[in-house]
Structures are given as C-alpha cells and as structure tokens.
C-alpha cells in the first residue's frame, strides 16, 4: 500500500476525514507515488479553524520577525532544491531542467517576501485640515487560501503563501490532487521553521475541498490558479460569499513573427514557448502568426527544430520534453489534434502515438505542428494545454494584431521582430496581460504582478509583486487631531 498523504493542520499531520483516496501517478512510469485523500468540508473546517486561531498572535508578531522566517525558508529550500525538482518531475512529468526552473521561480517569491517590512508600509499626510493628520495603515485581514493547478505544483502555491503570511495573515493551501506531493514536501520543510501552529495549513482534495474553502465564512480571500471554467466558478462563488478573490485562468497565447525577425534565434525561443513543459504552461505559445514573407522560413525552421526534440522521461538528463499529466490528458490532446484536422488544418508534424523506449505506457505526446490554421477554428481559439503549435498566416502586422485580439483569452502574446516600431505598436495594442518582445515566455518575475486579461483573469489584483501587498492587506485610514 502506498503512502496516504496527510493534511497539515495547526502544526500537526492529521489524516483526512475521508477514507476515499485517488492515486497520484507518475505519468511517465505509471508508478503510483502516493494516495491523495478526497478531502472533505470538515477537513477544510479544521484547517480554517487552526488558521483563524493563529491569526491574532501572528499579526502582532513583529514584521521583521515574520520576514526572518523567509530567510530561513530560503536556506532550507536551497538545501532541498534537487529533492523538490525531482519530485516535480515525478509527479508532473516535465524535464528535470524545467523542474529546476520551476523551483527557482518559487524560491524567488520567498526572496521577495523578505522585503515585506519595506513593502508593507503605509503613508501619511500632515495637516489635511488645521491640526489634523491622516494616515493609511496596512493591516492583514485574517485567513487566506490558495487553490492551485497541476502544472506548477511547487511554484504556484509560492506565488501566494510567502506574501500572505509575511503580511500577517494565516494561510491554507489546497493543491491539485493530480500533483499534491510537492506541497507535502514543502510543508515538511515549513515544519522545520517552527512557525507558530496554524500559520500555514495544507488540505488535500478536489472540488469538495475547493468549494468548502470558497464558501467558508472565515476565509477572507482566495487566490486561484487553474482553468478558465473553474476560475469563473471561483470568482462567482467567492464574490457571493463576500471574499477577496484573484482567479487566474487558462490561456491561448499567440506569437507574431515578422519577416524582419532573426528567424533562427526566434524559432529557438518559440520551441521553448510551445513545447516547454509539454505545452502545459499558461504562458505556452500555442499559435504562431506568420506575417507575410515570414511564413516559409518560419514553417521550415519550426518543423526542423521540433522534429529533433528528444521526448523522454524527465529524470533522464537527455530528455528535452517530458510527458503530459495523464493518459486522459493525452487522449484529450490527441482528440483536439484530430478535430483540428477535421476543421481543415493540415498536419505538418504529428506527435500522436509517440512511444518512448522503456516507458511504453507513459503519457507522451510528441511535438505537433498544425499548418493552415484559421482564426475561427476551435484549435485556434481554445486552450490545448499540450505540445501542439498551430501556424496561422496573415498578410501584415495589422492583421496579426486583429487575430490576436479576437481571442477571448488574454494571458500572453509575443512578437519576434527587429523593428522597434512594430514592437511598440504590439505592446500598445495587443490585449494580453504579459507581452514578450523577442521573448516567447513572458513570465513576470516575483517583484512584478502576474496575471492576464479577458477570460484569463478574474479579479482586480494580480498575484506577485506590489499587487500581492494590496491583496493581502487592507488600507485602514486614521484621521487624528490632538487637542
């Protein structure tokens, strides 16, 4: 019997109230790594109660001391760096280098949280009226929670947890049941910090646990990252229950390539965007828009490079692309490819049915390129979340901007060009939260806010950066006169 994961509540590891579990499966080897409990409302109640009980003492713990925990956390995470990267590979299927990149990005959020004492300061104005001063003070609110996706099991929870607790709140994480073990490891490391009991809590589960978090009267705010249909549910449910919410959703990211782009360098970069993480990134380039004469050289170079990508088990250093998350995901992606062909796209490189020696049952989809994709096709409009790149042809720059802005998503868009004028026009006119200029994955670093537009984001304040200070604190106004 494989290990059944436990919840971490009030400083102790406790079993879920539910006996039902789901296997966590390594998508390359098909080995069952652990069993994750199908967490219940009562599990969430316990975690929120522990977080609520911890809040008053924690918020009055000096902010410098709260920040000190982050220095210690950083040291511990560096010590366990390779262990985390290995687990991310095992439960998610990405390559080891991609997992290392993820762990590094997660740690950068811990770095950023060490700056909280200077970030959280309020502001003051003297003499707003005769002898009267006005101050805005930032205060934490109470219990916050994060509901996170499978594709970055280590990094995404760290977009929120360090800032939430260093600003003085207490926290509950509900990770994806597909990849819960990275959080199990993280909470074992958090345990070594000797934080006061209840400051950080972990609850496993799926929909029932998520709904319990969103509906709980003592949860003041929810950070969600996942697909757009669920992001909409989260936004609506949290609003209905009177909480703050930031809901980061799915994506369909376009990459425009101008004829004046450095083709070899651009395609090398587009490879990472489209096929990194087997296309399971919210910033994955999904449609390349070839402008005018860029089409022929771009297509030839894309096919040449993508055909050479070595697909394999992420723990083998020679692998350049790992698995998708599950057999079900592979079947869904392969169906989207087939449907794209039915819609009229042509297959330029077919990754369906790929087999990797020694991992014949693994959930591999090889790099796939579809040509002749038109803006109204489903394959051009909807998120594939797999290693599938569509090529669309447009006559000029304005047509490229137009097709990009027709998307109902707005997470990211990139342009490859050597023209400053086109680059500037692109960033000015394209409706997306993250713009890459000769950069295929425009991922905001920890001190900048990260979030999309349109159906890629629901809420006001994004994750990370100064937005997170606003999200995790309230501005209390004090107006004072001393007679």
Which positions from 185 to 224 touch ligand NAD by CB under 6 A, shown as an x/- string?
Answer: ---------------------xx--xx-------------
Q: Does 181 bind ligand NAD (CB under 6 A)?
A: no
> Given candidates 182, 248, 414, 464, which one binds ligand NAD under the rule CB under 6 A?
248
Q: Does 21 bind ligand NAD (CB under 6 A)?
A: no
> Given candidates 95, 148, 319, 414, which one binds ligand NAD under the rule CB under 6 A?
148
> Given candidates 10, 27, 93, 149, which one binds ligand NAD under the rule CB under 6 A?
149
Per the CB < 8 A criterion, the answer to whether 2 and 33 are in contact is: yes
Q: Does 150 bind ligand NAD (CB under 6 A)?
A: yes
Sheet holding 132-140, edge to edge: 123-129, 132-140, 473-481
Q: Does 249 bind ligand NAD (CB under 6 A)?
A: yes
Q: DSSP class of residue 3?
A: P
Q: Which stretch binds ligand NAD (CB under 6 A): 174-182, 310-318, 353-361, 389-397?
A: 174-182
| Residue 282: active-site member | yes
Q: Does 434 bind ligand NAD (CB under 6 A)?
A: no
> Given candidates 176, 223, 286, 390, which one binds ligand NAD under the rule CB under 6 A?
176
> Given candidates 93, 168, 177, 312, which one binds ligand NAD under the rule CB under 6 A?
177
Q: Is the dihedral of CA 113, 117, 119, 122 positive or negative?
A: positive
What's the gap between Cα 223 and its chain centre?
11
- For residue 145, the minimal CB distance to ligand NAD (Å) is 11
206 vs 351: CA distance, rounded Å: 31
Which positions from 254 to 293 touch ligand NAD by CB under 6 A, shown as an x/- string?
Answer: ----------------------------x-----------
Q: Which stretch binds ligand NAD (CB under 6 A): 119-127, 137-145, 147-155, 194-202?
A: 147-155
Q: Please choose, from the candidates 101, 27, 162, the residue with its C-alpha nearest in 3D space to the C-alpha of residue 441.
A: 101
Place of tokens 């999904």: 286
Per the CB < 8 A criterion, the answer to whether 168 and 195 are in contact is: no
> Given candidates 37, 162, 221, 250, which one binds ligand NAD under the rule CB under 6 A?
250
Closer residue to ligand NAD in complex, CB, 148/201: 148
Report the interhelical angle of 96-113 vs 81-92 (nearest 10°).
130
- For residue 93, the minimal CB distance to ligand NAD (Å) is 13
Catalytic residue, from 282, 306, 369, 392: name it: 282
Q: Please choose, from the candidates 149, 387, 390, the residue with its C-alpha nearest in 3D space to the C-alpha of residue 288.
A: 390
Q: Distances from the Cα of 122 to the Cαs of 32, 165, 244, 344, 473, in angstroms? A: 49, 18, 20, 57, 11
232 vs 49: CA distance, rounded Å: 27
Structure-token pair, residue 351: 């990754």
User: Site size for ligand NAD, by CB under 6 A?
Assistant: 28
Neighbouring-strand partners of residue 414: 255, 436
3-state class percentages of the chain: helix first, strand second, coil last, to nearest 5: 40, 25, 35
389 vs 281: CA distance, rounded Å: 13
> Catalytic residue numbers?
282
- Chain contacts with ligand NAD (rule: CB under 6 A): 147-152, 174, 176-177, 206-207, 210-211, 225-227, 230, 233, 248-251, 282, 383, 385, 411, 452, 456
């Amino acid at each position: 019997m494989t290990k059944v994961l436990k919840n971490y509540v009030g400083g102790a590891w406790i079993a879920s109230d539910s006996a039902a579990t789901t296997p966590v499966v390594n998508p390359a080897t098909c080995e069952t790594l652990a069993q994750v409990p199908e967490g219940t409302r009562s599990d969430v109640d316990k975690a929120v109660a522990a977080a609520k009980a911890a809040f008053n003492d924690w918020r009055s713990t000096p902010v410098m001391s709260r920040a000190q925990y982050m220095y210690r956390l950083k040291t511990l995470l560096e010590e366990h760096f390779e262990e985390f990267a290995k687990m991310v590979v095992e439960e998610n299927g990405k390559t080891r280098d991609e997992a290392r990149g993820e762990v590094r990005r997660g740690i950068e959020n811990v770095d950023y949280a060490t700056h909280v004492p200077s970030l959280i300061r309020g502001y003051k104005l003297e003499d707003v009226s005769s002898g009267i001063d006005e101050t805005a003070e930032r205060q934490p609110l109470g219990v916050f929670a994060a509901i996170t996706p499978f594709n970055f099991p280590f990094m995404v929870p760290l977009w929120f947890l360090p800032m939430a607790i260093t600003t003085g709140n207490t926290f509950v994480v509900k990770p994806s049941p597909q990849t819960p073990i990275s959080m199990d490891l993280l909470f074992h490391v958090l345990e070594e910090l000797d934080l006061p009991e209840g400051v950080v809590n972990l609850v496993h589960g799926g929909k029932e646990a998520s709904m319990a978090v969103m509906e709980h009267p003592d949860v003041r705010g929810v950070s969600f990252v996942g697909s757009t249909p669920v992001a909409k549910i989260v936004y609506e449910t949290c609003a209905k229950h009177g909480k703050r919410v930031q809901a980061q959703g799915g994506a369909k990211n376009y990459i425009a390539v101008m004829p004046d782009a450095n083709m070899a360098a651009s395609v090398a970069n587009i490879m990472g965007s489209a096929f990194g993480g087997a296309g399971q990134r919210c910033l994955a380039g999904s449609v390349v828009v070839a402008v005018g004469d860029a089409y022929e050289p771009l297509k030839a170079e894309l096919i040449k490079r993508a055909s050479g990508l070595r697909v394999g088990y992420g723990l083998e250093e020679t692998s350049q692309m790992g698995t998708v998350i599950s057999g079900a995901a592979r079947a869904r992606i392969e169906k989207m490819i087939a449907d794209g062909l039915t819609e009229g796209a042509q297959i330029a490189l077919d990754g369906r049915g790929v087999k990797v020696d020694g991992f014949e049952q693994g959930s591999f989809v090889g790099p796939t390129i579809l040509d002749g994709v038109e803006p109204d096709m489903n394959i051009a409009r909807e998120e594939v979340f797999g290693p599938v790149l569509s090529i669309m042809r447009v006559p000029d720059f304005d047509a490229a901007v137009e097709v990009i802005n027709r998307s109902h998503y707005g997470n990211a868009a990139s342009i490859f060009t050597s023209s400053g004028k086109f680059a500037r026009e692109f960033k000015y006119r394209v409706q997306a939260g993250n713009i890459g200029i000769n950069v295929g994955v425009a991922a905001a670093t920890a001190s900048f806010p990260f979030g999309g537009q349109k159906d890629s984001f629901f809420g006001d304040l994004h994750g990370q950066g100064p937005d997170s200070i606003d999200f995790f604190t309230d501005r209390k106004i004090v107006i004072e006169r001393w007679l």
